[in-house]
């Protein structure tokens, strides 16, 4: 089974479409159609799951005609299944660009040396990207804007993100006491 860093999640099955064996797929890629640009979509073990013959955009997903259709019931049962590609199929990110997957698990350290936690997820609710961080206590989770201002440096080799956020973004337990 490939490690988590060998596979990158690019989408998820959203259910069946019609009765002709088509499937609805939500794309997680920056350009939604790129979900299908890297070959077959794999399951979490790296086994091919969907080979798209064609994909047409719909509301918040694509309707995909597949090489090996399944029944409507099969696709509905697989709803929510994440779809992956091999990491080496992706182009290297540009300077100051990162794959979300590369940020997961990184330590977040304030520029003044305070440990702020670890990145649990990267979210985008329609505005800017947000880092979902679990504080050093292991219980408290909070969001930090993933902007140049709030996170001036990402050091992948060191496994950390340097952050200098407004104190209001931090949980009270991590904020500096104001005088």
Q: What is the pLDDT of residue 1?
A: 46
Q: How far apart are CA 39 and CA 87, in angstroms?
A: 12
pLDDT at 20: 84
Query: Could you tell me the two tokens for 172?
Result: 């009270």
| Residue 34: pLDDT over 50 | yes
pLDDT value at residue 18: 83
Window from 64-73, 112-121, 170-179 with minimum mean pLDDT: 170-179
pLDDT, position 84: 94
Phi/psi at 168 (5° precision): -65, -20
pLDDT band at 178 (very low <50, low <70, confident <90, very high): low
pLDDT at 5: 59
Report the pLDDT averaged over residues 131-153: 93
Indicate whether 2 pLDDT > 70: no
Residue 103 scores a pLDDT above 50 = yes
**What letters, b where the CB count within 10 A reaches 16 and e where it falls short, cover 11-37?**
bbbbbbbeeebbbbbbbbbeebeebbe
């Amino acid at each position: 089974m490939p490690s988590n860093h060998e596979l990158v999640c690019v989408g998820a099955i959203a259910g069946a479409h019609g009765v002709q064996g088509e499937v609805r797929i939500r794309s997680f890629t920056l350009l939604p159609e790129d979900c299908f640009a890297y070959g077959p979509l794999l399951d979490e073990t790296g086994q091919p799951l969907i080979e798209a013959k064609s994909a047409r955009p719909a509301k918040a997903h694509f309707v995909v005609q597949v090489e090996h259709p399944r029944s409507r019931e099969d696709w509905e049962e697989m709803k929510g299944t994440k779809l992956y590609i091999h990491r080496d199929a992706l182009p290297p990110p540009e300077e100051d660009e990162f794959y979300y997957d590369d940020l997961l698990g990184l330590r977040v350290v304030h520029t003044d040396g305070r440990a702020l936690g670890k990145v649990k997820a990267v979210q985008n609710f329609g505005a800017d990207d947000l880092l979902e961080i679990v504080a050093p206590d292991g219980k408290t989770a909070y969001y930090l804007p993933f902007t140049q201002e709030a996170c001036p440096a990402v050091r992948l080799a060191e496994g950390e993100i340097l952050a200098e956020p407004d104190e209001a973004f931090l949980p009270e337990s991590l904020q500096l006491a104001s005088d």
